[in-house]
Structure 1
């Protein structure tokens, strides 16, 4: 197989938790494209130096290497035009809204809720890097940033537009899932893989959407290894 993607792993190689990598996995499944997912750690910078990038996902497709999850969506539509992800300019504008909605509205509340769980999931070789880089970014310690009660309140407010859409249709894209759904599901899988926290109640339309997304493409999300599946993961 010539297609491969460098995919962030945690304390166990089966633990794959990057929200951006999850976006691409759903996009590849949507296209029906096989891919080898290569485990990568935060400190494995040399492994992806060929891409002039220090973060994943990095997709290698034959002689092509593509970085950034959204740019990978664009590349896949160009290289494999069947089953488009982004579609015309109007559809792409909608997808870009959901990209920013996931990153700027949903992710902050989820982060405050699961941050120390993510730290626990990180590979031991990466923990010093993760702590140092994130604390510099946040301007405070991980422990100070971690606030599940505040995070869940933030997330609850941020989910209101999504609830409105899901009252109208089973997916953000409508009757079938598409780019908008894939761009959003990544942050929920980030939480599902690294944490046992319940982000939404089972009466929430977002909960029903999440279960539909987990079952999509042969249970792509539901079958992902979680921190709760790793023996001894909560013993540290």
Structure 2
């Protein structure tokens, strides 16, 4: 049975960049499951799998259609229990919910503030218009005003916000401990997002977080590294 993952792309369909789609990609690789990719542009997302208001990622697994990266991870652990666990049980799943909330409120906004114009540049003209209109309406500012995080003061503040992650990674190689879990894939994915769309770097050389990103890039025979950096 073929699994199919719908994921967000720009002009280059071989360069998926959405952090949420990367969570699902890494989850599938973690499970050792073969899957095909179905690239989708911003303007095509809403109608994936005949939906009327879809978001990606979406996984087609036989008769099942699963939307949302966390739901996909839950589906994979439930339906492929003989493969390496993404959560390590119910308690691990609960803690991972916290990790996702922290990541989306700490790392994601910082990446948007340094790379939203770079994301815009990866798109074709139709999708640039769509992306600009949606993001500027959501933020109440122009993309140029949103991308205000490249100053030294704001960059230093973001690096300080990673101290809980940094302290953890000084004691163990992965958030999950000696081996990665879905929590690692969640936190890694926004850094992969930035790596693919932008040459701007937010982590300093020698930072334990940067070393961990490199370890994540090498996971599963370099599944994430195979998509080249910007």
Alignment check: 8 A CA contact 2:2 2:34 kept: no
Q: Is residue 193 of structure 2 the alignment partner of residue 190 of structure 1? A: yes
Write the distance in 1 (CA, Å) between the matches of 2:98 and 2:5: 25
Aligned to 1:122: 123
| Mapping for residues 147-158 of structure 1, pairs under 5 Å | 147=148, 148-149=150-151, 151-158=154-161
Distance 1:164 1:45, change over 3 A: closer
Match of 1:213 in 2: 216
Distance 2:51 2:63 in 1: 12
Displacement of 1:184 in angstroms is 0.8
Rounded to whole Å, the distance in 1 between the matches of 2:218 and 2:164 is: 23
Aligned to 2:33: 33
Bigger Cα displacement from structure 2, 197-206 vs 148-157 = 148-157
2:191 counterpart SS class: helix
2-structure distance, mates of 1:212, 1:10: 26
Q: Does 1:96 align with 2:64?
A: no
- Aligned-CA RMSD value: 1.5
Partner residue in 2 for 1:141: 142
Cα deviation 1:171-200 (Å, max 9, x = unaligned): 111111111101111101110000011110
Offset at 1:221?
Answer: 1.3
Could you tell me how far apart the structure 1 residues matched to 2:4 and 2:176 are? 27
Gapped regions of structure 2 (runs ≥ 5): none
Partner residue, 2:112: 111
What's the secondary structure of 1:5's corresponding residue?
A: strand
1:173 aligned residue: 176
Structure 1 alignment gaps of length 5 or more: 229-236
Q: Does 1:48 align with 2:48?
A: yes
Matched with 1:231 is none
1:51 is displaced (CA, Å) by: 3.9
Identify the residue that residue 164 of structure 2 maps to in structure 1.
161
Aligned-residue offset at 1:54: 2.4
Deviation of 1:155 after TM superposition, in Å, equals: 2.1
Match of 1:22 in 2: 22
Q: 1:46 & 1:176 partners in 2: Cα distance?
A: 36
Distance 2:37 2:157 in 1: 33
Q: Deviations over 1:137-182 (max 9, x none)?
A: 1110000111112652342122111001001101111111111101
Alpha carbons of 1:46 and 1:118: their partners in 2 closer, same or farther (altered >3 Å)?
closer
Q: Which residue of 1 aligns with 2:6?
A: 6
Q: What TM-score, normalized by structure 1, do the two folds share?
A: 0.91
